[in-house]
């Protein structure tokens, strides 16, 4: 006998979600704080241009996301078994304390290991957050809920990068790490006092019993082709994203000729349009899902293909020796279209993942999703640094951009498996 699904949020639910979204905003604001000031950081540690791209762009990103990806498996296990509120508090502390301490580093080794520890916090919070959202909202509202979370996370990433780009040239690159870390200690204390978590499986039909990660549960997750395709597109898609998040700011200022501040504004516009794309894409995807589920991945794939075009034009801007000769408006338009179309995929993939997995294994599924995502984010910048070493920055970025076509093909294939895998959930 199916149970009654609770869909209305209580006042305590709204309070908890508000604090959860605020914690996500500031935790993810840390993600791209280095990007606007890579050359400044390289100069402080005595790196040349090649070391800048390999160490700061490649090695730091690799350890940040690789450690976070490994840790997410353990938190996925605990998410399906223990109090998610306690796990959330622990993961935020693990992420924010080293973020704060990064503002006081004096050596590259200190920076390297503190970034690795910060990656643990971001890797841990993802399966916890989406497990909670899956229980707060039924399948008919999850794309919209994911869109709102993506909006908040995207705003955090963009705000952090904009902050670093504005304050870095004036006060030094370290100050932004301190600024973004402090608010979360206050918000986390409020979550400790007032935060609650929903009953596990309350928004799913049928009886739901929590299940720990095991060989059998992993086999069930990978048995669904939709899950596998989502994992694969996540790995493929994060490689070209590394161009935006790690290299583009420095590329526009050092290779094309814009000032650091102008380059930061261009990248911030990409971030803001990405926020809009993820938000609108989630809402549109939710409506398409309610018409016919397979329309959701088709919509996402088409938008991914479209996003490759303005990205290619942005990467291939003509360098200029005189900053005044550069057209600032042109890259802003290209960045806006690129960021908007590429990010439409994100909330829809997460909603699909929630819809094809039971609440009992949703934390595990998102742990694996985050592992695939983190492996891509970690190896993506590292792979691009190899492209740069072999072909130079511009050609290397163009190769990375074409990988989005592979990502789009994986998403397109989801339309053939989605409805079948959702049956019985």
Check residue 65 and give its pLDDT.
Answer: 74
Residue at token pair 């520890």: 117
Query: In this structure, are residues 102 and 171 in contact, taking their beta carbons and an 8 Å threshold?
Result: no
Report how far residue 147's alpha carbon sits from residue 350's, in angstroms, rounded to the nearest whole number: 9
Q: What is the CATH number of the domain that holds 106?
A: 1.20.1250.20
- Binned at pLDDT 50, 70 and 90, residue 199 comes out as confident
Distance CA 143, CA 137 (A): 10
Q: State how far the Cα of 83 lies from the Cα of 85, in Å rounded to an integer.
A: 5
3 — pLDDT class (breaks 50, 70, 90)? very low
Q: Does residue 118 sit within a domain?
A: yes
Quote the CA–CA distance of 25 and 150 in Å, as a whole number. Answer: 10
d(CA 281, CA 147): 7
Asked if residue 4 is part of any domain, the answer here is no
In whole angstroms, what is the distance from residue 198 CA to residue 134 CA?
A: 10
Phi, psi of 82 (to 5 degrees): -125, 180
Rg of the Cα atoms in the chain: 21
Position 208 in a domain: no
Determine the 3-state secondary structure of 177 from DSSP. Answer: helix
Domain for residue 207, yes or no?
Answer: no
pLDDT confidence bin for 104, thresholds 50/70/90: very high
> Comparing 374 with 129, which gets the higher pLDDT?
129
Number of domains in the chain: 1
- Please check the confidence at residue 11 and state whether its pLDDT lies above 90: no
The burial class, CB within 10 Å (0-12 / 13-18 / 19+), for 169 is middle
Q: Which domain covers residue 358, as residue numbers? A: 11-201+213-422
Question: Tokens standing for 72?
Answer: 């997410």
Q: Is residue 228 part of a domain?
A: yes
Torsion of CA 300, 305, 306, 307, to 10 degrees: 90
Mean of pLDDT over the chain: 84
User: For residue 292, is it within any domain?
Assistant: yes
According to DSSP H, which parts of 195-294 are helical? 215-223, 225-242, 248-251, 260-291
Residue 273, in any domain of the structure: yes
Residue 121 counted as domain residue: yes
Q: How far is CA 383 from its chain centroid?
A: 18
pLDDT tens, residue by residue, 56-97: 877 887 788 777 777 777 777 777 778 889 999 998 998 899
- Closest by CA to 180, choosing from 17, 374, 32, is 32
- Please tell me the predicted confidence (pLDDT) of residue 213: 52
Highest mean pLDDT of the ranges 193-207, 296-310, 337-351 = 296-310
Most confidently predicted of 128-137, 271-280, 330-339: 330-339
- Per-residue pLDDT, 378: 65
C-alpha 232/C-alpha 213 separation (Å) is 20
Spatial separation of the C-alpha atoms in residues 341 and 334, rounded to whole Å: 11
The per-residue pLDDT for 2 is 46
User: By the 8 A CB rule, do 202 and 193 touch?
Assistant: no
DSSP state of 416: T
Please tell me the total number of residues recorded for the chain in this structure: 425
Which ranges in 137-174 belong to alpha helices (H)? 142-171
Instruction: Output b/e per residue, 203-232; b: 16+ Cβ within 10 A.
Output: bbeeebeebbbeeebeebbeebbbbbbbbb
Question: What span, in angstroms and rounded, lies between the C-alpha atoms of 56 and 61?
Answer: 7
How far lies 84's CA from each of 96, 144, 363, in Å? 18, 22, 10
Report angle CA 182, 185, 187 to the nearest 5 degrees.
Answer: 110
Contact (Cβ atoms closer than 8 angstroms) between residue 87 and residue 338: no
Provide the phi-psi class of 82: left if phi over 0, else alpha when psi is between -120 and 50, else beta.
beta
């Amino acid at each position: 006998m199916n149970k009654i699904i609770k869909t209305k949020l209580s006042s305590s639910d709204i309070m908890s979600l508000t604090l959860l979204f605020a914690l996500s905003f500031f935790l993810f604001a840390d993600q791209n704080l280095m990007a606007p000031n890579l050359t400044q950081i390289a100069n402080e540690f005595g790196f040349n241009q090649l070391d800048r791209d390999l160490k700061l762009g490649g090695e730091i990103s690799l350890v940040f996301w690789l450690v976070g990806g490994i840790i997410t498996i353990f938190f996925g296990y605990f998410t399906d078994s223990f109090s998610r509120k306690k796990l959330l508090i622990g993961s935020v502390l693990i992420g924010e304390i080293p973020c704060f301490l990064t503002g006081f580093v004096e050596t590259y080794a200190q920076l390297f290991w503190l970034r690795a520890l910060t990656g643990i916090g971001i890797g841990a919070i993802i399966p916890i957050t989406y497990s909670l959202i899956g229980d707060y909202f039924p399948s008919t509202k999850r794309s919209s809920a994911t869109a709102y979370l993506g909006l908040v996370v995207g705003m955090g990433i963009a705000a952090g990068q904009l902050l670093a780009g504005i304050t870095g040239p004036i006060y030094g690159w370290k100050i932004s790490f301190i600024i973004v870390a402090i608010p979360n200690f206050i918000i986390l204390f409020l979550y400790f006092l007032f935060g609650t978590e929903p009953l596990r499986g309350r928004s799913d039909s049928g009886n739901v019993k929590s299940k720990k990660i095991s060989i059998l549960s992993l086999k069930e997750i990978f048995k669904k082709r939709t899950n596998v395709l989502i994992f694969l597109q996540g790995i493929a898609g994060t490689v070209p994203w590394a161009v935006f998040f790690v290299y583009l700011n420095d590329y526009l200022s050092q290779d094309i000729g814009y000032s650091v501040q102008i380059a930061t504004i261009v990248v911030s516009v990409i971030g803001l349009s990405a926020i809009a794309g993820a938000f609108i894409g989630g809402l549109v995807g939710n409506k398409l899902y309610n018409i016919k589920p397979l329309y959701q991945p088709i919509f996402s794939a088409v938008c991914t293909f479209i996003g490759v075009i303005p990205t290619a034009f942005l990467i291939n801007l003509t360098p200029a020796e005189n900053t005044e000769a550069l057209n600032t408006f042109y890259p802003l338009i290209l960045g806006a279209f690129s960021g908007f179309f590429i990010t439409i995929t994100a909330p829809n993939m997460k909603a699909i993942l929630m819809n094809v997995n039971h609440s009992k294994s949703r934390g595990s599924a998102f742990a694996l999703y985050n592992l695939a995502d983190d492996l891509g984010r970690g190896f993506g910048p590292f792979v691009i640094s190899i492209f740069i070493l072999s072909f130079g920055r511009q050609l290397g970025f163009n190769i990375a951009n074409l990988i989005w076509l592979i990502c789009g093909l994986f998403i397109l294939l989801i339309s053939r498996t989605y409805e079948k895998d959702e049956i019985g959930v």
